Amino acid sequence: MRPVERGAAPKAYKDYNLALNDLYERIGRGCSYCERKYSGAVEHMLPKGRHTGLATTWSNFLLACANCNSIKNKQQNAGVAGNAGAALGQYLWPDTDNTALAFDYSRGAIGVSAAVPAALVNVAQATMVMTGFHRLPHTGNPPKSRKDLRWKERNEAWDLAERKALQLASRPSPELRETIAELAAATGFWSVWRTVFAADADMLGRLNREFKGTAPTCFDPTTFQAVQRQGGQL
Ligand SMILES: [Zn+2]
């Protein structure tokens, strides 16, 4: 999950839908949770039904695809007050935490990273369950709907990223590096590209720059390794 910085509110909104284009400009077009490239909708971190005062508040906005949004809604409406989604601190968030430290991505699974302190493991786990972005067939967390193809798009990103890594190894050039970073941003799934190019600090920097709104303070400026986010849980 890519950590983002959406910045100060560009303006006040009478209707939250009017913030969609400003969100695209600030954090790029794609789902803030599963990272698929998607013309999603304005997402309310704290649900607007339960927190009506936050329905048009910029700092409560992210972007979500239909699958993440639907699962998150079910989670957050599953019970009474005090249920999942009642408080921000129950989850990690890409705008306040360094979510790049939270999860490990591989083709076989997405899981809570060993780097997550013991006190936050349950919070990180709850963050995955909140939108089910880790659902993958033939694992302990399979998709529950045939319409949930997030895993498939993610696997396509793996295929592409691995092909491009081989290409770069066989004929390295700064131009190809930039082309790959641009292709990554057009494809989505920053975490997949970041995992494939994990040993290449130059590529990690390019990926951060090409994916709009990646939070610069979440990374060492030279190695682009993820660091604790100031003010965040992680
Ligand atoms: Zn999503």
pLDDT at site 49 = 83
pLDDT at site 78 = 65
Residue 32 CA, ligand 1 centroid: distance in Å: 7
pLDDT at site 51 = 85
Residue 222 CA, ligand 1 centroid: distance in Å: 30
Q: Is residue 58 within 8 Å of 26, Cβ to Cβ?
A: no
pLDDT at site 84 = 44
Residue 63 has pLDDT above 70, yes or no: yes
183-221 confidence digits (pLDDT tens): 999 999 999 999 999 999 999 999 999 999 999 999 999
Question: What confidence tier does 88 reach under pLDDT thresholds 50, 70, 90?
Answer: confident
Q: Around ion ligand 1, which residues have CB less than 5 A away?
A: 31, 33-34, 65, 68
**C-alpha closest to that of 193 among 136, 220, 154:** 154
Residue 64 CA, ligand 1 centroid: distance in Å: 5
Cα–Cα distance for residue pair 43/65, rounded to 1 Å: 9
pLDDT at site 40 = 81
Cα–Cα distance for residue pair 225/9, rounded to 1 Å: 28
Residue 215 CA, ligand 1 centroid: distance in Å: 19
pTM of the model: 0.95
> Please, which residues have CB within 8 angstroms of residue 200's CB and are 6 or more apart in sequence?
none
pLDDT at site 86 = 58
Residue 61 CA, ligand 1 centroid: distance in Å: 14
Percent of the chain past pLDDT 70, that is, above it, reads: 96
Residue 188 CA, ligand 1 centroid: distance in Å: 11
Residue 171 CA, ligand 1 centroid: distance in Å: 34
